[in-house]
Structures are given as structure tokens and as C-alpha cells.
Amino acid sequence: MDDAISFSPAPDLQVAEWINNDGPVTLLGLRGKVVVLEAFQMLCPGCVAHGLPQAQRIYETFSSDDVTVLGLHTVFEHHAAMTPVSLKAFAYEYKLRFPIGIDEPSAGGMPKTMQAYGMRGTPSLILIDSEGRLRSHYFGTVSDLQIGYQIANLLSERVASTPRDLGGQEVNSGVACDVDGCPVP
């Protein structure tokens, strides 16, 4: 079920460790791309059967130049069984190739990113637009067609907001313009 679309800035990811990635990932560093965030737990049947396979399909379908898929291992139960070592083996066995962050634990039991996003459980799928705004938040399963449609719409918004010439080429990309005009790069 889609929660309210807010268009508010997406909260920062509070991650203790990343796997399948050489360094930390930030939403600010992903500006310009649509971000698909799949929150899961290894021992969650819905995550294993639906959420993670869907995230992997999105990862394989869309260009990494346009869409970034991130996993968020957000453990709120069975802490002793869901360690970083177990997660690395799980990701290897399930052939999950996208970056996966381990949600930062908190004193209250609910991980920090899970709290910041107001997640009700796992699986949760979150869509963040290219401007870093929270656009959709699903708890449970959602159809591939619906998510694909929403990602395509977010991509078309990004393209529509980029100035283009009559041939479809970007205009003034990365070029500072002043009152006298825009220099040729």
C-alpha cells in the first residue's frame, strides 16, 4: 500500500556499514538519479519472496546512470542471527549485487533509518526522486508494473526539468551563465 506522497526531502540514511560497495553511499551523492530503497530483514519471508527479488529486477532493468537501487538491512528482531557476516553470506547466496546498508541500531530497538522514514516493518520500498525528495513509501508487496510505472514517471520528470534544444540535447549542462549569456563549454 502506498503511503502519502510527501515531496519532502528524504531523511539521510544512517548506516553502520555498507556491503557490495567500496565506500559509503549518501542521498546527496545520488542527486540526479532516482533512488529505490528496499528495506528488508534476512529472516522476513515477504522480503525473501517478494521485496528482494523485485529490487534485483529493478537493478537489472534500469540503467545505473538513471536509477540507483539500495538495500537497507533494518533489523528490529532476531538481532543475534542477523549479523553483518550473515548478511554478507545471504547477499552472496541470493546474488544481490546492489549496495546494501546495515541500518544503524538505536537504543530503543528500532534502527535509526527505519525510524526516520516511519517504516511500519519489512519489506518496505521507498522511491526518492532525482531531487532527493521522498515520493512513495510502500509497506508489503507492490506490483512490478506499478513500481516500474512510477520509476518511469520520476525519470520523465527529471528529463522534463532539464533544458534541451530542438534536437533533444541538454542545454547549458554544467555551464555557468550570466547576464551576458552562456559560454560554450
Give the start-to-end residue ranges of the domains of the chain. Answer: 15-160
Q: Of 164, 170, 128, give the one whose Cα is nearest residue 39.
A: 128
What is the C-alpha separation between 163 and 125, in angstroms, rounded? 31
**CB count in 10 Å sphere of residue 121:** 16
Tens place of pLDDT per residue across the chain (185 aa): 455 455 789 999 999 999 999 889 999 999 999 999 999 999 899 999 999 999 999 999 999 999 999 999 997 676 566 688 999 999 999 999 999 999 998 887 789 999 999 999 999 999 999 999 999 999 999 999 999 999 999 999 876 655 544 444 555 544 454 444 555 44
What is the C-alpha separation between 176 and 48, in angstroms, rounded? 47
Taking the whole predicted model, whether its pTM rises above 0.85 is answered as no
What number does CATH give the domain 15-160?
3.40.30.10
Confidence at residue 83, expressed as pLDDT on a 0 to 100 scale: 83
Written as one letter, the residue type at 133 is: R
**CB count in 10 Å sphere of residue 98:** 20
Strand order in 34-40's β-sheet? 15-19, 100-103, 67-73, 34-40, 124-128, 134-139
Cα angle 169, 172, 175 (rounded to 5 degrees) comes to: 140
Confidence at residue 75, expressed as pLDDT on a 0 to 100 scale: 78
CB 134 within 8 A of CB 9: yes
